[in-house]
Amino acid sequence: MADNDKDLGEKVAAHLKSLGIETPFEQGSPKDQELVRACFVDVLNDGLKMDMDDDSIRETPHRVAKMYCQEIFHGLDYSQFPKCTTVENKASYDEMVAVRKADVLSVCEHHFVPFIGYAAVAYIPNTKVLGLSKINRIVDFFSRRPQIQERLTLQIYAALSLILDTEDIAVVIKAEHLCVRLRGVKQQSETITSKMGGKFMAKPPLREEFLALTR
């Protein structure tokens, strides 16, 4: 697809791997929708003793497999990495560019239930300026895989650092984890993670300005 960039995706994947923050999966191997469907039949029928002849349950394995492979886990395929068009920073803009409330729609890799929230992302342009929607697309790409929030935060930061050729980047994610809400302590709470570099670390007023935008 024109909106995807496989070559950039492979560069980002290699960069994350070199930093030790890549998601543990077999890159380059296509997802096997039929195998997922067959395995989920076993989960429902043999494991949970559901009646697979019931008209409400019969197609559930197919629906789950399609959802996993074609929808919510497309971030396991770097050929679908978003095309990230940058332009030269001809105006020498040197102030913060920030995007708030970029949707985080992910799945906890520990319990395979959703965690949902928002990301705030900012950067200070060096030689490149990135199209604003591309930040949302990068957040979405790394969200769409089995994840932990801490790693997700680092992956977004590292990908943007590589694409924009700067460490002057800040990422904050706030999310509700349904594995906390539905099981364990069974409480509604918000988890906040952050990663900041460059001037966002070196200059407290800049960091505070960004954090104020996330409140």
Q: Around Cβ 71, how many Cβ atoms within 10 Å? A: 9
Task: Answer yes or no: 62 catalytic.
Answer: no
What gap in Å lies between CA 152 and CA 143, rounded to an integer?
7
Of residues 84, 147, 149, 155, which has the active-site annotation?
Answer: 149
Characterize the bridge pairing of strands 169-177 and 191-196. antiparallel
Task: Answer yes or no: 109 catalytic.
Answer: yes
Of residues 22, 150, 176, 179, which has the active-site annotation?
Answer: 179
Task: Answer yes or no: 149 catalytic.
Answer: yes
- Reference 92, options 51, 60, 124; nearest CA is 124
Of residues 22, 74, 111, 176, which has the active-site annotation?
Answer: 111
Terminal-to-terminal C-alpha distance of the chain:
37
Of residues 109, 150, 176, 209, which has the active-site annotation?
Answer: 109
Task: Answer yes or no: 39 catalytic.
Answer: no
Per the document, the length of the chain is: 215
Task: Answer yes or no: 108 catalytic.
Answer: yes
What gap in Å lies between CA 14 and CA 8, rounded to an integer?
10
Instruction: Please give the C-alpha separations between residue 211 and each of 120, 176, 196, in angstroms, as whole numbers.
Output: 9, 19, 11
Of residues 69, 84, 147, 177, which has the active-site annotation?
Answer: 177
Task: Answer yes or no: 111 catalytic.
Answer: yes
Of residues 84, 108, 147, 167, which has the active-site annotation?
Answer: 108
Of residues 34, 59, 110, 190, which has the active-site annotation?
Answer: 110
State whether residue 26 is helix, strand or coil.
coil
- Residues classed as catalytic: 108-111, 149, 177, 179
